Structure 1
Amino acid sequence: MSRTQKFALVTGCGQGGIGEALVTEYARRGIHPIATVLPSESSQHLSANGITFFPLDVTVEESVVELKARIQELTGGYLDILVNCAGIAYTMTAIDTDVGAVQRMFDVNLFGPMRMVHHFHDLIIPAKGTIVNIGSIGGVVPYLYGASYNATKAGLHHWSNTLRVEMAPFDVRVITVISGEVYTNILKNDAHRQLPEGSYYSPLAEEFRQHVTRTPSGATDRFQYASKVVGESLRSNPSAWFWTGSSTGLIRCLDTFAWRTIWDWMFWRMFNLGKLHRSHAALDKKQV
């Protein structure tokens, strides 16, 4: 029996984020969107727009299993599209990283999608569906103060790459979205972050403060971004890696054709690393 209604499940649909924009766009295109929010998060923005939503913490196995049972009941055992969008950020130098905080981020950004696919694949395969993993240019280039976040996204990219090959025999499509900077509120939880006392990066403390409290310049509107991602996810033959958002054209070109260390030169200037180098050299002279 043919199914006329398609369903798209999107994780991480808190207010002001990419997930909210994605479920809004799926609804606009006639797909039944299913949003998830953390149990502690408000869902008012979803209910106000008639979006179906459920609580979910992608780091908790039982939460994922409970969601699956609800989705099976709602859809009759099929899921046409799964978008792994839930994610958090952690801004800090690599040498000053709090490993405990980073473990939590890996659990959300990388192990979360793994849990979702592990539990939902037997709903996606019968639907010959699509899995969309929201990656980032941070997983491609060495963007400063984002070493740990970049690592979660690089891991997601390569896991998603292999997933695409492994799911092909079941006619399931897998899209890795390489996202440029998008206007969202993902940085709000990092706005308070400061370099630890005595950090080798202390000469750049003010630059770091400005970085974590910045409003991204030239970032892509999240609804425009959502329109492109949703459109790609509905194609019968989508891109394996779908690059979209601010600066992705330039970054894709340089990553393909330039030498690997071009980013060292670009970010040295962009993040004022010359100032740090001079300060460190002056300190070395005093200690001699």
Structure 2
Amino acid sequence: MAAQRPKYALITGCGQGGIGEALALEFLRRNIHPIATVLPTESSEHLSSAGITWFPLDVSSEESVIAMRKSVGELTGGKGLDVLFNNAGICYTMPAIDTDVPSVQRMFDVNLFGPMRMVHHFHDLLIRAEGTVVNMGSIGGIVPYVYGASYNASKAALAHWTNTLRVEMEPFGVKVLLIISGKVSTNILRNDHGRALPEGSYYAPLASEFKDHIHRTPEGATDRHTFATKAVAQALRTSPPTWFWTGSWATFIWALDTFFPRKVFDYMFWRMFGLAKLKEAHQASMRAKKD
């Protein structure tokens, strides 16, 4: 009997302390050979010390993705890739009316176009293995989370792209799974530290609250290793679900999105983000201008 070929899982965005690192460790625990990636500027010591194969990768760079495809092809002997887990992502927190478009374009280049590049260049290896593509979505792509309009849009776009990818890849035996992630204990928010409202913003009355939000530590967030255990289990199923909701708040948001009118989110976030204070400040400002 011929020996069974090794199985490989490629995970993007495996910086120290993040979900990607936890995913790589979980694949390793399940005897799947993880291929982790970190930005060329990031440390890889946490991966090397765990015995995890890693490569530098910037998913926003076509040249970097092409080089990664060559490296993975050589590592696997060109026989196939069993899982492509598009985890790399960054955030951008700002009121929609204060959006800095170049910053958002950079985010979309990672959150949306990054998975597109990866699938484009790795689809042949996935087809050879009849593997699985996993894209990291978010409850932000479902709900109007305040200050997250641009991030939410990137995840909503990814969700719809993933839906069509799933249908189109089925003839080739490739499975496609979207993870709808709730709150998870990770370090993605560090990208926003130091961000402030622009001068003259209509949201200035909430400047203090915005600063606290930028530097928050999410309460009740799911442990990243617990999250990884559940996500990897779904990725390795013979017939995974189309969407898998997991992480803190995920089930709650699913229930509201499924059984309630969308206006319920407006009421929820109005209270959560103190928008009544903003309305009162705006009305007071308008009255003062009239006097």
Same fold (TM over 0.5): yes
| Runs of 4+ in structure 1 over 6 Å off | none
What CA distance in whole angstroms lies between the structure 1 residues aligned with 2:209 and 2:271? 13
**Which runs of structure 2 are paired with 1:169-208 in the superposition (5 Å)?**
169-208=171-210
| Residue 47 of structure 1: aligned partner | 48
> 2:165: which partner in 1?
163
Distance in 2 of aligned mates of 1:127 and 1:250: 36
| TM-score normalized with structure 1 length | 0.99
Q: Secondary structure at the match of 1:89?
A: coil
CA distance in 1, matches of 2:22, 2:179: 15
Please name the residue that 1:21 is paired with. 22
**Which structure 1 residue ranges, 5 or more long, are not aligned?**
none
> How far does the alpha carbon of each residue in 1:109-154 deviate from its partner, in whole angstroms, 9 at most, with x for none?
0000000000000000010000000000000000000000000000
Query: Which amino acid is 1:100 matched to?
Result: P
| Runs of 5+ unmatched residues, structure 2 | none
Alignment partner of 1:107 out of 96, 106, 109: 109
Cα root mean square deviation, aligned:
0.8
Work out the percentage of aligned pairs sharing the same amino acid: 65
User: Which amino acid counterpart does residue 280 of structure 1 have in structure 2?
Assistant: H
Q: Are positions 1:258 and 2:251 aligned together? A: no
**CA separation in 2, counterparts of 1:52 and 1:252?**
36
Secondary structure in 1 aligned to 2:35?
strand
**Secondary structure at 1:138's aligned position in 2?**
helix
Structure 2 counterpart SS, 1:268: helix
Counterpart code for 2:10: L
DSSP 3-state at the match of 1:205: helix
CA deviations on 1:32-78 (whole Å, 9 max, x unpaired) are 00000011110000001000000101111111111111101111111
Q: What is the distance in 1 between the residues matched to 2:77 and 2:61?
A: 24
How many residue pairs match? The answer is 288
Partner of 1:274: 276
Aligned-pair distance for 1:261? 1.0
1:229 equivalent in alignment to 2:231? yes
Q: Quick one: which of 137, 140, 144 aligns to 1:138? A: 140
Q: TM-score, normalised by structure 2?
A: 0.98
Task: Using the TM superposition, give the Cα deviation of residue 2 of structure 1 relative to its aligned residue in structure 2, in angstroms.
Answer: 6.3
- Tell me what 1:149 maps to: 151
Equivalent residue of 2:134, what SS?
Answer: strand
Q: Please give the residue correspondences for 1:239-254 in structure 2 after superposition, counting only pairs within 5 Å.
A: 239-254=241-256
Q: Residue 10 of structure 2 aligns with which residue?
A: 9
User: What SS class does the counterpart of residue 132 from structure 1 fall into?
Assistant: strand
Shift of 1:3: 3.3
Which residue number in structure 1 is paired with residue 81 of structure 2?
Answer: 79
Equivalent AA in structure 2 for residue 71 of structure 1? V
